[in-house]
């Protein structure tokens, strides 16, 4: 028995698998809830209003609810980007068109709370994180400076607005700081360097940040963008190919694949804050991240299309894929590695209603490790994880 146990441990280590648990349930379904915008950003949830999000290039903030779908909340919005609520529930807006951070009070009046530093205009306030003490942290890269205007600051900053309104520079070492968020206990601040696709972390000490160090990297070409942390300390970073999920130790746990456009930001919503809302290009998505919630009870798409977990899983050398469809349509089923590279197309074509199963042998295609397989139609995407162990 001891020899068998030792062999099993060695096999797992050689496979390169992580023992950390992904917070994305196997039955999670990515659902598109709104589309047709120019470039969406900055989702934020309020239990009364529902979801607010920016259409940066469309110069508007939209409101989405299950009952009313999408309506304009604020137009023009000064090309709003990141959105957040302060400790009293007032909306904070990163207005790139006016190069400022602004506040919308409960009467609807919008006022600037930060627009210059040392007498010079801010670059282009991008994303926001509000601390429980009322201070507002934000990133200020030179993205989207209005045409005809010049960059006045010689750096891209990470700033803090104190509860009394004082603006403080925290860091100027990143050339393109973008996504920003706190750990659950607010002892750490995460910021990514967008074009380099590197996420950094600092220790938060009162009103300052210290001990900068690298937390994680995203390897595919593109930009790291908005980030959020869940209650367990897992970090969700939008970027090339989807939403990258890292453990509190910086290990890659999962990737929520999104095709067509790289996502720009994400945030938690619904009353229990266990639904992740994601902005990506012209679309807004959501994915429910609660293991115990049966997907059939959510009123989503699995009544029309459902991707089954492959069996066996882990597997060696062969496994079986399956899915069910209730309407005719074009479907593709593909395998990807953890970096989003396509490994194999299992099927692609027209399917009539029914259940379908396809055998797959990994003898020559895969090395030991974790992979993802994705079923996609015109308006449906679902991804599941598979493990191959040689």
10-57: pLDDT as tens digits: 223 323 333 468 899 888 889 999 999 999 999 999 999 999 999 999
Instruction: Give Cα separations from 227 to 9, 43, 159 (angstroms).
Output: 34, 11, 17
- Strand 128-130 vs strand 329-337: parallel, antiparallel, or unpaired? unpaired
Give me the CATH number covering residue 95: 2.120.10.30
**What one-character DSSP code corresponds to residue 358?**
E
27 beta partners: none
Residues 272, 171 share a domain = yes
* pTM exceeds cut of 0.85: no
**What one-character DSSP code corresponds to residue 367?**
-
> What digits encode the pLDDT tens for the residues 101-142?
999 999 999 999 999 999 999 999 999 999 999 999 999 999
> What digits encode the pLDDT tens for the residues 256-304?
999 888 899 999 999 899 999 999 999 999 999 974 323 223 233 334 6
Among 158, 160, 174, residue whose Cα is nearest residue 206: 160
Counted domains in the chain? 2
> What digits encode the pLDDT tens for the residues 304-341?
678 888 878 777 788 888 888 888 888 899 988 877 78
pLDDT, greater one: 40 or 362: 40
Residues 242, 319 share a domain = no
pLDDT, greater one: 340 or 171: 171
Residues 327, 185 share a domain = no
Residues 358, 372 share a domain = yes
For every residue of 292-316, DSSP letters joined together read TS-GGGTTSGGGTEEEPPPBSSSBS
> What digits encode the pLDDT tens for the residues 230-265?
999 999 999 998 999 999 999 999 999 998 888 999
Residues 194, 148 share a domain = yes
| Structure tokens that stand for 192 in this block | 């990514």
Residues 195, 126 share a domain = yes
How many CB atoms are located within 10 Å of the residue 348 CB?
11
Q: How confident is the model at residue 363 (pLDDT cuts 50, 70, 90)?
A: low
Q: 61 is in which domain, residue-wise?
A: 30-297
Q: Determine, yes or no, domain membership for 15.
A: no
Residues 171, 34 share a domain = yes
pLDDT of residue 340: 77
Residues 277, 313 share a domain = no
Q: How confident is the model at residue 182 (pLDDT cuts 50, 70, 90)?
A: very high
């Amino acid at each position: 028995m001891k020899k068998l146990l030792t062999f099993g441990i060695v096999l797992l280590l050689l496979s390169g698998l992580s023992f950390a648990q992904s917070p994305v349930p196997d039955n999670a379904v990515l659902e598109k809830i709104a589309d047709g915008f120019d470039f969406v950003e900055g989702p934020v949830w309020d239990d009364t209003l529902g979801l607010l999000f920016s259409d940066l290039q469309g110069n508007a903030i939209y409101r989405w609810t299950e009952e009313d779908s999408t309506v304009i909340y604020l137009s023009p919005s000064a090309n709003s980007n990141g959105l957040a609520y302060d400790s009293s529930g007032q909306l904070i807006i990163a207005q790139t068109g006016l190069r400022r951070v602004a506040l919308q009070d409960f009467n609807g009046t919008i006022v600037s709370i930060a627009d210059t530093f040392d007498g010079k205009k801010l670059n282009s306030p991008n994303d926001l994180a509000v601390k429980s003490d009322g201070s507002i942290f934000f990133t200020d890269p030179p993205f989207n400076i209005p045409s005809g205007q010049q960059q006045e600051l010689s750096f891209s900053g990470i700033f803090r607005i104190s509860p009394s309104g004082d603006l403080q520079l925290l860091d100027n070492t990143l050339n393109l700081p973008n996504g920003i968020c706190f750990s659950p206990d607010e002892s750490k601040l995460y910021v990514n360097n967008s074009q380099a696709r590197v996420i950094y972390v600092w220790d938060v000490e009162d009103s300052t940040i210290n001990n900068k160090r690298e937390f994680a990297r995203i390897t595919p070409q593109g930009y790291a963008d908005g980030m959020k942390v869940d209650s367990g300390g897992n970090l969700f970073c939008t970027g090339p190919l989807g939403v990258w999920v890292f453990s509190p130790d910086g290990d890659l746990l999962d990737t929520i694949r999104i095709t067509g456009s790289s996502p720009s930001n994400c945030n938690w919503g619904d009353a229990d804050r266990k639904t992740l809302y994601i902005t990506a290009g012209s679309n807004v998505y959501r994915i429910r991240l609660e293991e115990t919630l049966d997907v059939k009870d959510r009123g989503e798409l699995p009544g029309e299309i459902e991707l089954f977990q492959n069996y066996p899983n882990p597997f060696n050398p062969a496994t079986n894929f399956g899915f069910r469809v209730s309407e005719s349509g074009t479907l593709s089923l593909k395998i990807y590695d953890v970096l989003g590279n396509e490994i194999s197309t299992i099927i692609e074509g027209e399917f009539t209603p029914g259940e379908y199963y396809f055998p797959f042998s990994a003898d020559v295609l895969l090395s030991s490790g974790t992979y993802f397989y994705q079923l996609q139609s015109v308006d449906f995407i679902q991804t599941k994880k598979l493990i191959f162990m040689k």
